[in-house]
C-alpha cells in the first residue's frame, strides 16, 4: 500500500471519505463500503471486499501496515483536524477505509451450502442490524437473508457496530413478493422458526434444532407481521420474567442462535 501525506481537506483524492454523516446513504455512494476503526479495517483487509483507500492519522496507518501490505490502494496520512473536516464529524478511532462492494452471492448457491440462517423482515435500524450480524458471526450462523424493506447492512454504522463481521457473513435480499419468497428457503430444506412473544408460541427450550433451520426476526417494536408468522413452521418464544414482554432484536437473535447451535 502506497502511503501519501495529504494536508488539504479539499483534496479530491479523499472523496471516498467526504461528508460521511450522510454521504454513504446517497444512491451514488451505494457502491462504496466504509470501514471505521482499526479492528474493522483489519477485518476489511481480510475480507472479499476490495479495498479502495485508507485514511487516518500516522500512528493508526503505521499500526495497520502489516495487514495492509497486500492491499492495492493508497493510504492517506492526515492530521486529526483534516480527518474530521473531511469526514464531517469528530473521528475518535483515527482511521477509515473504503472498499468496493462485490456482486451479491447467488441465492441458490448460498442456500445450497448453508445449514443455519437468519431471515430478517423490515429490520431498518442500522445499529440493530450491525449488532445482529455480529451475533450471526459469533454463533456460526451461515448467512443472512433480508426482505426488500430491510436497511443496507453495508451502511457505515452497521459495519462499525458489527465490528466488521458483516464483511465476512454472506447475505442476500430475497427476490419476489414477501413473505411468499420464503418458499424458496423451505424448498431448500430449512425449517422456518419465527421468534414471537406470543404466549401460545413454543418455548425455545423445548425446540430441538432441525438439521437445517432459519430463524425469522422482525423489526424492533412491531416484530414479525402476521403474514410472515403464517409462513413459519413453528412460532418460538423466549421465556422471560413477568413484566418483560420482549428483548432487543439482536439480543433475542443471540439467545435463539445459542440454543439452536448447542442443540
DSSP string, 143-200: EEEE-TTSPPTTSHHHHHHTTTGGGTS-EEEPPSSTTTTHHHHHHTTPEEEEE---TT
Confidence class for position 26, pLDDT limits 50, 70, 90: low
C-alpha 77: how far from its chain's center? 28
Q: CA–CA separation, 207 vs 39, rounded Å? A: 36
Please give the pLDDT value at position 1.
81
98: confidence class by pLDDT, cuts 50, 70, 90 = very high
b/e code 140-152 from CB counts within 10 Å (16+ = b): ebbbbbbbeebbb
Give the pLDDT band of residue 263 (cuts 50, 70, 90): confident
| pLDDT at 261 (0 to 100) | 95
Q: What are 70's three cell numbers?
A: 497486500
Q: Provide the angle, in degrees to the nearest 10, between the axes of the packed helices 58-68 and 38-45.
A: 20
Give the residue-averaged pLDDT of 216-227: 93
User: In degrees rounded to 5, what are phi and psi of residue 243?
Assistant: 90, -5
Tens of pLDDT, residues 42-72:
999 999 999 999 999 999 999 999 999 888 8
Q: From the CB of residue 184, how many other CB atoms can be counted at a distance below 10 Å?
A: 16
pLDDT digits (tens, 9 = 90+) for 136-156: 999 999 999 999 999 999 999
Domains and CATH numbers, the chain: 2-100 (3.30.1330.30), 107-262 (3.40.1280.10)
Q: Summarize pLDDT for 247-261 with one digit per residue, the tens.
A: 999 999 999 999 999
DSSP string, 95-146: EEEEEEPPPPPPHHHHHHH-SEEEEEES---HHHHHHHHHHHHHTT--EEEE
Averaged confidence pLDDT in the chain: 93
Q: Is the pLDDT of residue 2 over 70?
A: yes
pLDDT higher than threshold 70 for residue 25: no
Distance separating alpha carbons of residues 36 and 156, to the nearest angstrom: 7
pLDDT of amino acid 205 = 94
Amino acid at each position: 500500500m502506497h502511503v501519501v501525506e495529504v494536508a488539504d481537506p479539499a483534496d479530491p483524492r479523499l472523496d471516498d471519505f467526504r461528508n460521511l454523516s450522510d454521504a454513504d446513504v446517497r444512491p451514488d455512494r451505494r457502491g462504496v463500503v466504509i470501514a471505521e476503526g482499526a479492528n474493522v479495517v483489519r477485518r476489511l483487509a481480510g475480507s472479499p471486499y476490495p479495498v479502495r483507500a485508507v485514511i487516518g492519522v500516522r500512528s493508526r496507518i503505521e499500526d495497520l501496515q502489516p495487514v495492509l501490505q497486500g492491499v492495492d490502494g493508497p493510504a492517506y496520512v492526515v492530521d486529526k483536524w483534516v480527518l474530521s473536516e473531511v469526514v464531517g464529524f469528530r473521528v475518535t478511532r483515527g482511521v477509515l477505509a473504503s472498499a468496493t462492494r462485490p456482486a451479491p452471492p447467488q441465492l441458490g448457491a448460498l442456500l445450497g451450502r448453508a445449514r443455519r440462517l437468519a431471515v430478517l423482515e423490515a429490520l431498518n435500524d442500522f445499529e440493530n442490524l450491525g449488532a445482529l450480524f455480529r451475533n450471526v458471526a459469533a454463533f456460526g450462523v451461515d448467512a443472512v437473508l433480508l426482505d426488500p424493506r430491510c436497511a443496507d447492512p453495508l451502511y457505515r454504522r452497521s459495519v462499525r457496530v458489527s465490528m466488521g463481521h458483516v464483511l465476512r457473513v454472506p447475505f442476500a435480499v430475497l427476490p419476489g413478493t414477501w413473505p411468499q419468497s420464503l418458499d424458496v428457503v423451505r424448498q431448500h430444506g430449512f425449517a422456518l422458526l419465527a421468534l414471537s412473544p406470543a404466549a401460545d408460541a413454543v418455548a425455545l427450550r423445548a425446540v430441538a434444532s432441525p438439521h437445517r433451520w432459519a430463524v425469522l426476526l422482525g423489526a424492533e417494536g412491531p416484530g414479525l407481521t402476521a403474514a410472515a408468522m403464517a409462513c413459519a413452521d413453528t412460532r418460538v418464544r423466549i421465556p422471560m420474567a413477568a413484566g418483560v414482554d420482549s428483548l432487543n432484536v439482536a439480543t433475542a437473535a443471540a439467545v435463539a442462535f445459542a440454543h439452536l447451535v448447542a442443540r
